[in-house]
Structure formats: structure tokens, C-alpha cells
Structure 1
């Protein structure tokens, strides 16, 4: 029997830098805001570039009923999986061969719904990233950081089975020459860059299946829940939230968001640790 929905708003929350601070985790004000939304008949959805298996423990402990993960590859409402799109095995095999991942030092990681497979070069980069993140944290903050981290950091690529492990996202770090080769490979195959940046001298890219992004995933979820897009409110803070903001009726950029995001938002709020989500939902009489 199909569920019936009689809801007011769909509240959509990015995780990192929006719902959650990397050092302090999810503030009590955000937990309170989510609970108050539920009490008032709204549905709350987390919408993240993280794959399902890397969502921090403190976020999962909130038992938020709707999840969009992997940048739009995976959609779940309560116990119902609405979408689960992973990169084709043939493309993964071509990717392996094209970049000779078994034979050189390109850093890469494959993210499945349950775990992250990485080679030693990626492991070392992740360790460097974590050292930089926690360098200025006190002991209590460091304890909180590692307590909620879901990723197991190890050179475990040998455990990856290309025929059995469904991969939602590829993370790859490369030099300029290899990055240009990656651009060409992406154009020739059914994948695209969901996020790009730099890590020291290396180009960093996150790659998912073409046709999966936060904006389209929100449309799919709204159709499933029979919620009109005009009844959506999204909170975000990064470049990968642009697709989400372009779709949602109301879009709130967190303090410190890049101009590319804040310029297309319908409003702005305080940072995550300044109770931005709670304050903005209160101002709009949602809670």
C-alpha cells in the first residue's frame, strides 16, 4: 500500500559546513531545529556529496528520514531506496586501464555504499588532510572528530572487487597532464565531475555517473513524496550545492559561502556554529 503524504515543507540540508562543523560536529541547535521540523509535519532531508558509507555517525544518529548521498546517486526515504545509480563496471575497467591504476602512483579512491577503497597514495593524502584539519583542535575536539569519522583509512584497494562492489563515486588526485587526460576520458564516457579542486600541487576530482546531481535528486524525491518544488527550502555552503539551489524554491547560503553560491541564493544565514539553521527556520516561521 502506497504511503500518503500530507506535508508542509521539505527542508534540505547539506552536511559539511551546513548541518555539521568538522571539529564540533552537529550543534545542539541544529538537532533541535530538525526535531521541531518533524513535530510540525515537515520532512527533513540531508543532501550530501558524501557517499552513504561516509556520512558521520552524529548525522546518522539524528535518524533523518530522507537521504540524498553521493551527490545525487543514492536516494532513500525511511526504508525505501528510491534511486541507486553506480558507475558502470565497463567504465570502471576502462578507467583502470586508461590510468594504469595498478602500475603508477596516481592517488585514487572508490566509494561504495558501505566503504571506501583507496590505494596507498590516497591513504597518505587522506592522512595529510586529517592532520591539517585537527592541527589546531584541542584534545576534546580531536576525540570528537575521530569518534564520528566513518571512513576507515587504510590501503585496502586489494579488497576491491570490480565485479561485485558497486561504486557511486571515484576520487582522484593527479598532475596537470593526467588531469587533461581525465577530462577527455569523462567526455567519452557516461560520467561527470561532481566536484573539483586542488590539493597542494595536485588536481582533485570527484566523479559520478552522468545524470546524477543534487538538483535532479531533489526533483526525484519531491515526485516520490508528492511535494511541490515550491515547498522546498535548501541550506548549503559550497560549490556542489549550486545544482540544489537552482532547483529549490528557497535557498539559504551559510555565512562564508562562495559568491557563486550566495549570488544565486534567496537568503543567507549565520554559520553552522552560530546556529544558522535554527535561526533561519525560526525567522521564516517554519519552527
Structure 2
């Protein structure tokens, strides 16, 4: 078979709008696995949050989390690759967030940290997080998240604002002055920051070296800007129908939307199963 590895984004790609893996995508992934194709999730999510969606396959597979900042195996928890943000850079990024009064989160391997909010906003945030984090993920609310930087190896920082795009633009401008970071976005309302060299493309490079396969043997699926490094690296880069036009332009093939089982349709087409 020409393709030996499927690497796929989750939210907006493999998952439906309810943030659950669709039944047809489950079937397609299982059939690909039966054909000897390796399946690897590649998510912006924290590791444990991404891992739970693939328990149905009952396999030990590498999993790319935090936009490529870490790769671990799902059964053994073996660490394959990790690129955390140095503490001094984390503090500079937090200064930008605080200056612009934007809501933000920090991700470590096992913990998501949020700035303390009012009781009403905290409850709203907890409800929102239920879409992305299971009960096994440790969510910490704190008054001073700079204190947490010294306690955790931070893999990703994210700023979020649903309404004020000008604020996000100012945040991005200020972040551009900080050296040795990767800046991307996985949705219209966020900015995601990792250490230099931490992106899904670099993670895929590390993974194919680890697995001993060629990039031409990889199909990569995604729907947003943080997926582009792996989309462009893979032998076949597939972008979802729900992606922005600028993302679609980088694709080798545009499939149906995440709500129309676009991943499954592309698997059936290119693996001929």
C-alpha cells in the first residue's frame, strides 16, 4: 500500500461539531488499521484530552499533542518528543497577555492553567472546557499564573477572545517582538504560542524518523492554520471542506466537511477500502 501513516487533526477534522469522533470516521480508521496503516492523532489539545478519543482502537500509537510540542505513546506513555517553552519566554508571553487584558491558558503535559475569573465566568469557562477536557485532566485556576511557570514545563500558551478581534491583533503584534516562539491559530478566536520548532510539521518529521517511514507515505488531515506545517510536509495533504479558503489553497485535496465525514471519505478514496 502506498500510504503507511494517517496523521489527523481532531477538532474540526476528525471530530464533529459536538467534539466527538463521528461513527463513519471510526469505521474508516478501523478499516485503515486492518490494512496495516498506522493511525496518529495530531491535536492542539492537551495529551490526555486527545488520547481519550482513540481508546476505541485499543492500540498503542504515538499521539501528537499541544500543536506538536509533545509526542507520547497512548498505551505505554513512552515519551518520543518534547519541546517545552523556556520559563523566561513564558513570562514574556504572559506579560503580553496581561498588558492587553486578554483571557489566557497555559498547557503543561498534564495540567491546563487558567487565570482566576469571577464565579460566573469561571462556571462559564468550566462548562466550555467540558467539550475539550475529560475529568482526568487537571484544570487549575490561579491568581498569578507566573507562579505556575516555575512548577510546570509549559508546552503551549493560548489567548482567547470571542468578540474583540482588534485585541487579538494587538496581542499578535506584541508577540511578534518575542524571539524563539511559534505563533499560530486553531480557530478564529485564538492565538496559540509554542517554543520555536514546536509545530505539527516538526512533530511529524520526528515521528516519521521514529517510525522509519518516508513523508511521501503519509496522509495528513487538517482544517486550520496550525495544521498547515504537517499538511505541507505530508505526501498527501488533505484539508476539510469547513476550512478557510487560505488553508484549502495549501491542500493536495479538499474533502467534505467534518460534519460530512470528510476524513472517512478521503480514506476510502485514497486507500481504496
TM value normalised by structure 2? 0.81
Tell me, yes or no, if the aligned pair for 2:97 and 2:103 is still in contact at 8 Å: no
Tell me, yes or no, if the aligned pair for 2:45 and 2:66 is still in contact at 8 Å: yes
Matched, 1:216 2:180: no
Equivalent in the alignment of 2:70: 74
Equivalent in the alignment of 2:82: 84
Tell me, yes or no, if the aligned pair for 2:182 and 2:196 is still in contact at 8 Å: yes
Equivalent in the alignment of 1:46: 41
Q: Which of residues 28, 31, 34 is equivalent to 1:33?
A: 28
With over 3 angstroms needed to count, the CA separation of the structure-2 counterparts of 1:180 and 1:126, relative to structure 1, is farther
- Cα deviation code 1:197-216 (max 9, x no counterpart): 664xxxx4211101111111
Distance (Å, rounded) in 2 between the aligned partners of 1:184 and 1:145: 30
Distance (Å, rounded) in 1 between the aligned partners of 2:135 and 2:249: 32
With over 3 angstroms needed to count, the CA separation of the structure-2 counterparts of 1:116 and 1:263, relative to structure 1, is same
With over 3 angstroms needed to count, the CA separation of the structure-2 counterparts of 1:111 and 1:275, relative to structure 1, is same
Tell me, yes or no, if the aligned pair for 1:11 and 1:43 is still in contact at 8 Å: yes
Equivalent in the alignment of 1:240: 226
Deviation of residue 272 (structure 1)? 2.5
Matched, 1:127 2:127: no
Equivalent in the alignment of 1:139: none
Give aligned pairs, total.
265
Deviation of residue 235 (structure 1)? 1.1
Distance (Å, rounded) in 2 between the aligned partners of 1:150 and 1:196: 23
Equivalent in the alignment of 2:263: 277
Equivalent in the alignment of 1:168: 155
With over 3 angstroms needed to count, the CA separation of the structure-2 counterparts of 1:155 and 1:104, relative to structure 1, is farther
Distance (Å, rounded) in 2 between the aligned partners of 1:122 and 1:242: 36
Deviation of residue 95 (structure 1)? 4.0
User: 2:148 aligns to what SS in structure 1?
Assistant: coil
User: 2:243 aligns to what SS in structure 1?
Assistant: coil
Equivalent in the alignment of 1:267: 253
The 5 Å alignment of 1:171-182 reads 171-173=158-160, 180=170
Name whichever of 189-198 and 35-44 sits farther off. Answer: 189-198
Deviation of residue 255 (structure 1)? 1.6
- Cα deviation code 1:107-159 (max 9, x no counterpart): 2211111121111349938937967x9xxxxxxxxxx9589577666634568
Q: Which of residues 180, 184, 187 is equivalent to 1:194?
A: 184
Deviation of residue 273 (structure 1)? 3.0
Equivalent in the alignment of 1:250: 236
- The structure having more radius of gyration, on CA atoms, is 1
| Cα RMSD for the two superposed structures | 3.5
User: 2:191 aligns to what SS in structure 1?
Assistant: strand
Tell me, yes or no, if the aligned pair for 1:115 and 1:151 is still in contact at 8 Å: yes
